[in-house]
Chains A and B, each alone.
Chain A
Amino acid sequence: MKKKLSVNGVQHTVDVDPSTPLLWVLREQLALTGTKFGCGIAQCGACTVMIDGVPIRSCVLPLASLEGRQVMTIEGLAPSDEKLHPLQQAWIEHQVPQCGYCQSGQLMSAAALLARNPEPTDAEIDGAMQGNICRCGMYGRIRKAIKSAATSRIAQSELHTFDKTDEASDE
């Protein structure tokens, strides 16, 4: 069954069963492999994407529930090919990734946090990031990087979200 899907500001048409979780559509239909499969049951956060600005585990989100909603994946987080999102920049500066597998999910949860709360406290960061598990235990660096991005003027002014009016299409 053909379904329309807006990802990173681009309209796609995919032909899959409507019960297919978004993660499989992203990775196998749209070749957006930055979003990772971790546990498959919404327990680890590796597959986190933003739906209308809210962090959601894509491994349990059926495609059927996404009509008219805006999906943002890690591929859409940077404002351009030349410029990273302030969080991505802070991730590099603080050497957050070790194995790196959880990082796209971590970044999407962090981006959603800063979009709604530009200056989070340590407790607010901990609360928002609880659902993203890091096997390498980089939680201290994750918190530092979020604080760093939050306190920079860049982070204040360039938190990136998509507007429906900016949409392109792949058709």
Chain B
Amino acid sequence: MRGVFATILQNRAVAEDILKMVLRGKDGAGLAGARPGQFLMVRCSDTSDPLLRRPMSLYDVSGDTFSIVYRVVGAGTRLMAKMPEGGEVHVIAPLGNGFNLPPQSGRVALVGRGVGAAPLVFLAKTAIAQGKRVFGFISATSRESLVGVEDLSKMGVELQTGVDTDGSSTELLDLIRERHSAEPFDYVATCGSRRMLRLVQDLRTATGVPGEVLLETRMACGIGVCKGCVVMTADGTYKKVCTDGPVFPVELIAG
């Protein structure tokens, strides 16, 4: 990891209240070696308000550029949304542990909701590069707020989308179960929805398919120092989302 100023190559809406920011480190070093599921800490203000950086999952790493997709939810992301293209922003990256695609897995399912689909796009790209068959199940509250579906279908991900306002995603979840029982997945990754996490946990319990979840929480440092971002895990201990995660085996996390 390193702290670096990055040039903002692109910062524009890709869905409702959701923007994509494409960056290039000013030291020219790129983020080679960064893995899907890792994140950046973005400094969103030059003043002390908002005080803290914002953790943002990597959406893509390509050559010397890298990108994030973020939803405008508060003061920090509002400031980020106003950052001009051509300007610069300070980031610390890459942080945390990425997804662990099992080498032998041939069929990979990615299950995401809302902006939680963003880190799954980078994972899909990696899985496809490894010759895996990737199935995407992406939901959102509206068609306009679906994230990553265009990029996923361009990559050749076999995609199912669902739209529901209450987070139930019933049809999509049923579809995942059906697909899995017809021809099982070898690995499932999820982000962005408790219901989806529970489904992946159920699949794991019922059929043993390994699953991983990327957790998103508030953080202060992002590098394991402040212990502010902990989550209680199934073994009865607190784990830091930033450095023990943000990707965890689904069986370790309370659904």
- On whether the two chains bind one another, the answer is no
Question: What is B's interface to A at a CB cutoff of 8 Å?
Answer: none
Question: What is A's interface to B at a CB cutoff of 8 Å?
Answer: none
